[in-house]
Amino acid sequence: MIEEIDKLKNYIQTKYLESNEKWIKSETYSKINLKNNTIFNLVNDEKIQNTVFNYREFINEDSIQLIIDLNQFNSKIAKVNSRAKLKNSITYKIQNYFKNHEQGNIPINKCLNDLFGIRMICFTPVTHNQIYELVKSKYKNLKCIDSSKQDYKATHIYFKKDNYSFQWELQIWNYQDESNNINSHEIYKQDYIKWEKENKGGLV
């Protein structure tokens, strides 16, 4: 199972760097330091806002073939899917951080770390420590964290070129945790649906 995770990780890293080069060359690219600028800065700066949503549009178009190609990693021991984050979901997350996390004094890249996400569900159980040791031994530039909280059990790996690049997220779940993890997402989604009904758009 670790070998399959390693193959997927290598593939995502390659595609991430290729996509990032395309983004830098695109007409809608703006160079923004996503570590030094906070969610507070984003809410109050139209240029930063545009950069976030322009990237979302870019990755939504650029990731189509990648989503198709990820099918090669579906097998008897794992299934893989992916998605680009919805516009409203991005806005909700920004508002949530702005209002409930240190008045938005959180780096943009820490909040918007999953504009493009991939999920691998392993039919053969694998531990966080096994994944962490793999990343630690071979990939110094990747961040690997235990994101388990209450009923949600997962390891997240983050791909980032530099502080001017949006991150991609790889979630690794064990099959036996899938039902509880989905239920945990549904609880979060209920807050999002309530927010969506109450808001007509805008960041604050």
pLDDT of residue 189: 64
The mean pLDDT value for 143-161 works out to: 96
pLDDT tens digits, one per residue of 113-131: 999 999 999 999 999 999 9
Give the pLDDT of residue 35.
Answer: 97
Side chain identity at residue 187, one-letter code: I
Q: What pLDDT score does 194 carry? A: 60
pLDDT at 46 over 80: yes
Band of residue 17 on the pLDDT scale cut at 50, 70, 90: very high
Full residue range of the structural domain in which residue 148 is found: 2-198
Does position 200 have pLDDT exceeding 80, yes or no?
no
Q: What's the rounded Cα separation, in Å, for the pair 161 and 142?
A: 9
The per-residue pLDDT for range 83-109, each reduced to its tens digit, is 999 999 999 999 999 999 888 999 999
Whether the pLDDT of residue 169 is over 60: the answer is yes
204 in a domain, yes or no?
Answer: no
Task: Tell which wins on pLDDT, 41 or 68.
Answer: 41
User: What is the pLDDT, as a whole number, of residue 64?
Assistant: 79
Tokens of 44: 């109050």
Average pLDDT for the chain: 91
73: left (phi over 0), alpha (psi -120 to 50) or beta: alpha
Give me the pLDDT at residue 67, please. Answer: 82
Mean pLDDT of 2-14: 95
In this structure, is residue 80 part of a structural domain?
Answer: yes
Number of domains in the chain: 1
Given a cut of 80, whether residue 185 has pLDDT beyond it is no
Q: Give buried/exposed letters for 18-47 (b at 16+ CB in 10 A, else e).
A: ebbeebeeeeeeeebebeebbbbbbbeeee
- Tell me if 203 is assigned to some domain: no
Look at residue 12 and tell me if it is in a domain: yes
Characterize 155-169 residue by residue with b for buried, 16 or more Cβ atoms within 10 angstroms of its Cβ, and e for exposed: bbbbbbeeebbbbbb
Whole-number pLDDT of residue 202: 56
Whether the pLDDT of residue 11 is over 90: the answer is: yes
CB 40 within 8 A of CB 103: yes
- 101-110 burial by CB neighbour count: b if 16+ within 10 A, else e? eeebebbbbe
- pLDDT-derived band of residue 201, with 50, 70 and 90 as boundaries? low
Q: What is the pLDDT of residue 62?
A: 82
